[in-house]
Amino acid sequence: MKEQVLARAAALGFDLCRVTDARGPEHADAFRRWLAEGMHGGMAYLERTAERRLNPDLVLPGAQSILLLAISYHRSGSGGAEASEEGAEARGVVARYARHRDYHHVLGPPLSALREFVNELGGVGTRSLEYIDTGPILERDLAHRAGVGFIGKHTNLISRELGNWFFLGSILTTLQLEPDAAAVHRCGTCTRCLAACPTGAITEPFRLDARRCISYLTIEHRGSIPVELRPAIGDRIFGCDDCLAVCPWNRFAREGRLMREAYLPGFDRPSLVELLGMDEATFRVAFRGTPFERAKRRGLLRNVAVALGNTGDGRVLEALERAAGDPEPLVAEHARWAIERIQARGGKSGRSE
């Protein structure tokens, strides 16, 4: 039966499919400690679902196996964040995964198809649940145990076949399938990701303080970005790839089929001034069905204001002055900060030039 499931997963376009049993993850104590120290920031749902995350049987009573699926979003020839040329229009950097339509939408249908296949294969009484990043399970730990990849010092999963650029999906099922062998840690003496992190969010190997992580601050975090971290955010307006991009295991990255057609041209380096000028209706149309909906207009424009402040470029002051009067207080506050930062660094007002 396992061979049939693997064949079906490959036919549906999943890049890797591995199986583990439905025991709780091995890192339960470390996860509880991480929560107790508040390192999850405002992600209160992690606390609320902690016990279920540590016990798959509470999520699906009678669960026997968990399928872990990897889906590459690597694009051949795609670079990271090329620096803007001097004097060029200010542009922001978007995390690579977010340069595609929302992966929940893209990957939902093939994942449902695989879940239905598993249920049919198991016959009457077989129950399964599917998740793409949203389920109350610790997918990364389970994917390590299933051999999809190993958890790197940056705390993300690394595949020897896909590098760092992939999503994880999972299917919990009451069907018993033979588990695969766990992955082996392969960071060795490398510490590139720790050195590359602009905010020191990887406080030690295998330990991430989400409260300092730009991915968290620009996407999950709902409120004001701590002032002391704003300069280090640079021109990143949605997520951060720095720790992933420096990892030497990316030499094995390869394109996958499922995300290829979901790529959004023009999302690599969007114009910051154009973004800052968007009203609610424009935002909704421009970003419908994309990961940006998660941050909402208020979150994205907050990030854009920070990035503009970090340019030090007086030509963007006019746009920031308009945003300082935005009806959304979060946007207005970050725009005021940006104006002060540019003026403190000697940038002149665009209107006076």
Contacts of 41 (CB under 8 A, 6+ apart): 210, 211, 216, 220, 221
CA distances 244 to 11, 85, 158, 203, 272, Å, are 28, 24, 9, 16, 24
- Which residues are 263's β-sheet partners? 100
Residues of this chain that bind ligand SF4 (CB under 6 A): 152-154, 158, 187, 190-193, 196-199, 201-202, 208, 213-215, 240, 242-243, 246-249
99 half-sphere exposure, CB direction, 13 A CA radius: 23
Tell me the Ramachandran region of residue 254: left when phi exceeds 0, alpha when psi lies from -120 to 50, beta otherwise.
beta
| CB nearer ligand SF4, residue 56 or residue 234 | 234
| CB nearer ligand SF4, residue 9 or residue 183 | 183
Q: What minimum distance in Å lies between the beta carbon of 59 and ligand SF4?
A: 28
Q: Which residue among 21, 102, 133, 209 is the active-site one?
A: 133
Contact 294, 112 (CB under 8 A): no
Residue in the shown chain whose Cβ atom is closest to ligand SF4: 152
CB-neighbour burial class of residue 87 (10 A; exposed 0-12, middle 13-18, buried 19+): exposed
Q: What minimum distance in Å lies between the beta carbon of 197 and ligand SF4?
A: 3
Q: Is 279 a catalytic residue?
A: no
Q: What minimum distance in Å lies between the beta carbon of 247 and ligand SF4?
A: 3
| CB nearer ligand SF4, residue 247 or residue 308 | 247
Q: What minimum distance in Å lies between the beta carbon of 144 and ligand SF4?
A: 13
Contact 298, 222 (CB under 8 A): no
CA dihedral 337, 338, 339, 342 (to 10 degrees): 120
| CB nearer ligand SF4, residue 243 or residue 305 | 243
**Tokens representing 218?**
């620009």
**Smallest Cα–Cα separation from 300: which of 264, 318, 326, 265?**
326
H-helix segments, 280-327: 280-287, 296-311, 317-323
Q: What minimum distance in Å lies between the beta carbon of 211 and ligand SF4?
A: 11
**Tokens representing 242?**
């720095």
Q: What minimum distance in Å lies between the beta carbon of 4 and ligand SF4?
A: 34
| CB nearer ligand SF4, residue 182 or residue 190 | 190
**Tokens representing 139?**
């997918």
| CB nearer ligand SF4, residue 201 or residue 304 | 201
| CB nearer ligand SF4, residue 213 or residue 306 | 213
Q: What minimum distance in Å lies between the beta carbon of 210 and ligand SF4?
A: 8
Distance CA 110, CA 207 (A): 33
Helix, strand, coil fractions of the chain, as percent rounded to 5? 45, 15, 40
Q: Give catalytic residues, as residue numbers.
A: 133
